[in-house]
Structure 1
Amino acid sequence: MKSAVRLLQYKVLKWLSYASCVIMLLVSFNGVVVTRTGSGLECGREFPLCHGKFVPGTTIGSLIEYTHRLTAGIAGLLALITLIAFLVWARKRRDFQIYAAIMAFFVVVQAIMGALAVVFSQSPPIMALHFGFALIAFASALVLALSVRRAGSLERYQAPPAEHRVSKRTRNLTIFSAAFTYAVVYTGALVSHTELAKMSVVLHIASAVLLLFVLMVGHMAIRNYGHIRDIRKLGIIVVVLMIALPLSGVLNLVALGSEYYMFAPMLHTLITDFLFAFLCFLSIRTWELSRVPAGEEASVSVKKTVQA
């Protein structure tokens, strides 16, 4: 009976993490639509009302802005429910609780920043940070979903075998690549709000450097750790996404003024969100595997465990 309850709890938490991941992605998509259509102030400088009403008027702009607000509100509520559920039912998995807490914190913060941007005029750096926080919220949701799915239960984390050990060099390069990706994405969001030519040049240079680092991470994951199934898969995913990212950026420029005006930036945002999220998950996995004892250390660790 107890095992059946634990299994049910696990399934509920798993689907909550999946739902959170989807709603966070929708928030990003809606944000792109709002920015592209210039609908940010279509409800006036009011929040949460739209021109004094809970239900907006029939104008396209007000519907777009109100949909974004509604999606962000649902995302915040779902993130809080997910956090509480993990705190109650996943007490043995502190890592799950941390991911859920990060997700809830950043989705609430970015929602508050969005509301303040409506009521009070915000500077471009703050608006770019608003997008950056939404990116962290989605990455945390994806990391949570992938971690729960990979674990298969709510039991304590089990250390992998010694042959799955990852070098500190690979770990550090992966973490740096994830952090650098966030910096490039923030710069891109800042450029979109300021349209400064000098910053655009810096962005292109940073993107080229990012391409190099991510390809190195992918190469190391596939070639050096091909025997570790999830590391190999994550290496392939980040390489594919990294190659697709500049291509989607070119499509974004080509689509200006065409019928693909809205589709191209949504595709670019989709690739960006998943690239950063998968790099974050790969960083966590390499960090975990870099702590696995190797060789004699592993045998000593096993002896200590047996004696205990």
Structure 2
Amino acid sequence: MQKLTQRFANLSAFGMFLILAMGALVTKTEAGRGCGDDWPLCNGKLIPAYTISSFIEYSHRLVVGIVTLILVVTFYLVFRYVKRADAKWFISGTVLMTLIQAGMGAMAVIWPQSSLVLALHFGLSLLAFAFALLLSLVFTPLGQYQQDRKIRTGFKVLVWITAIYSYVVVYLGAFVRHTVSSGGCSGWPLCNGEVIPELSGATGIVFTHRVAALLLFFCILFLYLQAKRQYQASDRLVAGSKWSLILVLMQVLSGAVVTWSMGNDVAYLFTGMIHAIIIACLFGFLCYLCVLTLYDRKGQSHPG
């Protein structure tokens, strides 16, 4: 049953990644109202009339439904056949975040919600994906957390602060999308030709996100330098920090490309999706580093 459980864990992680990407697509194409005020039906029908917006929104709902069924099976298999407590926490977190997100999605369709609330949808999808990713890693060598050295308290705190702060940056990015503020800053790295523009309206929102993203880059750079200084090159903490640094650099550059692609709808949509996918991978690596800090000098057997 371990192989079957592993397959469903992998399907869950892939499914949550797909939900996250499709949710970003719904936001980017402004297809959230593609099914009107109806839920779970779409414009009063089980299979709606074809329009691009209804197709995108209804496809997203359909994928959420299928992945939820996969999660139910995964939840049963993990609690029935896996002895590791962390695996049970991971699948429970995935299911909880998915249910909350689905409930909020339904409420957003039926009742209008503010951009502050709508921005939480991507954050919840990100948490669900991170939990599912950690669950899938349980069944790989990366998920066997034997540690033969002490992790310094300061480094643990740095890892957790960086991960939490990255979530804040993600929320700001989602807020930019839901307030349709992307055009607030034309050009990159300058904003409307200025180092510090007028901080009001859409310009203030986008500029705040840019500054937060830049600070995140320096946080992860500092994290990597500390990991490299304190631990051996082969240590997972060093490898995870290095990949986090690579991904945050890619994230900053992809943000620049998103700005440069404004005016070309296809390029803007494509680069925006890439931007969302990179941040998902980055957050996944940071969550993995957080888990590593919880297994300081603790052995963990392979899942049964």
Pairwise TM-score range, normalised by the shorter structure: 0.7 to 0.9
Give the direction of change, closer, same or farther, for the CA distance of 1:158–1:216 in structure 2 (3 Å limit): closer
Equivalent position amino acid for 2:150 in 1: R
Structure-2 residue corresponding to 1:187: 172
CA–CA distance in 2 between the matches of 1:181 and 1:116?
A: 27
Equivalent position amino acid for 2:292 in 1: R
Query: Equivalences for 1:33-44 in 2 at 5 Å?
Result: 33-44=25-36
CA–CA distance in 2 between the matches of 1:73 and 1:223?
A: 46
- Residue 204 (structure 2) pairs with residue 198 (structure 1): yes
TM-score (norm: length of structure 1): 0.85
Q: Secondary structure at the match of 1:47?
A: coil
Give the direction of change, closer, same or farther, for the CA distance of 1:158–1:277 in structure 2 (3 Å limit): closer
Identical aligned residues as a percent:
33
Gaps in structure 1 of 5+ consecutive residues? 1-8, 294-308
Query: Which of 100, 123, 128 is the equivalent residue of 1:137?
Result: 128
1:195-214 CA-to-partner distances (Å, cap 9, x unmatched) read: 33222222222112111111
Structure-1 residue corresponding to 2:237: 231
Task: Name the structure with the higher helix share.
Answer: 1
Task: Assess if the C-alpha contact under 8 Å between 1:252 and 1:261 holds in 2.
Answer: yes
Task: Assess if the C-alpha contact under 8 Å between 1:21 and 1:145 holds in 2.
Answer: yes
CA–CA distance in 2 between the matches of 1:169 and 1:158?
A: 20
How big is the alpha-carbon RMSD for the aligned residues of Structure 1 and Structure 2?
1.9
Deviation at 1:158, TM superposition (A): 7.1
Deviation at 1:160, TM superposition (A): 2.8
- Residue 209 (structure 2) pairs with residue 222 (structure 1): no
Equivalent position amino acid for 2:277 in 1: L
- Residue 22 (structure 2) pairs with residue 16 (structure 1): no
Give the direction of change, closer, same or farther, for the CA distance of 1:260–1:166 in structure 2 (3 Å limit): same
Deviation at 1:159, TM superposition (A): 4.5
- Residue 100 (structure 2) pairs with residue 109 (structure 1): yes
Deviation at 1:227, TM superposition (A): 4.8
Structure-1 residue corresponding to 2:285: 278
Equivalent position amino acid for 2:206 in 1: S
Query: Which of 248, 252, 257 is the equivalent residue of 1:242?
Result: 248
- Residue 60 (structure 2) pairs with residue 68 (structure 1): yes
Q: Secondary structure at the match of 1:166?
A: coil
Q: Secondary structure at the match of 1:262?
A: helix
CA–CA distance in 2 between the matches of 1:227 and 1:207?
A: 27
Deviation at 1:218, TM superposition (A): 1.8
Gaps in structure 2 of 5+ consecutive residues? 182-201, 300-304
- Residue 279 (structure 2) pairs with residue 287 (structure 1): no
Structure-1 residue corresponding to 2:276: 269
1:38-82 CA-to-partner distances (Å, cap 9, x unmatched) read: 111111100111122111212111111100111111222222221
CA–CA distance in 1 between the matches of 2:146 and 2:261?
A: 48
Structure-2 residue corresponding to 1:169: 154
CA–CA distance in 1 between the matches of 2:140 and 2:48?
A: 39
CA–CA distance in 1 between the matches of 2:145 and 2:118?
A: 41
Query: Which of 66, 69, 79 is the equivalent residue of 2:71?
Result: 79
Q: Secondary structure at the match of 1:260?
A: helix
Equivalent position amino acid for 2:98 in 1: V
Give the direction of change, closer, same or farther, for the CA distance of 1:250–1:150 in structure 2 (3 Å limit): same
1:72-93 CA-to-partner distances (Å, cap 9, x unmatched) read: 1122222222122111111x20
Range with bigger deviation, 28-37 or 109-118 = 28-37
Deviation at 1:151, TM superposition (A): 6.5
TM-score (norm: length of structure 2): 0.86
1:113-145 CA-to-partner distances (Å, cap 9, x unmatched) read: 111111111111110111110110011111111
Equivalent position amino acid for 1:49 in 2: L
Which stretches of structure 1, 4 residues or longer, exceed 3 Å deviation after superposition? none
CA–CA distance in 2 between the matches of 1:49 and 1:14?
A: 33
Structure-2 residue corresponding to 1:160: 147
CA–CA distance in 2 between the matches of 1:208 and 1:170?
A: 21
Structure-1 residue corresponding to 2:199: none
Give the number of equivalent residue pairs: 277
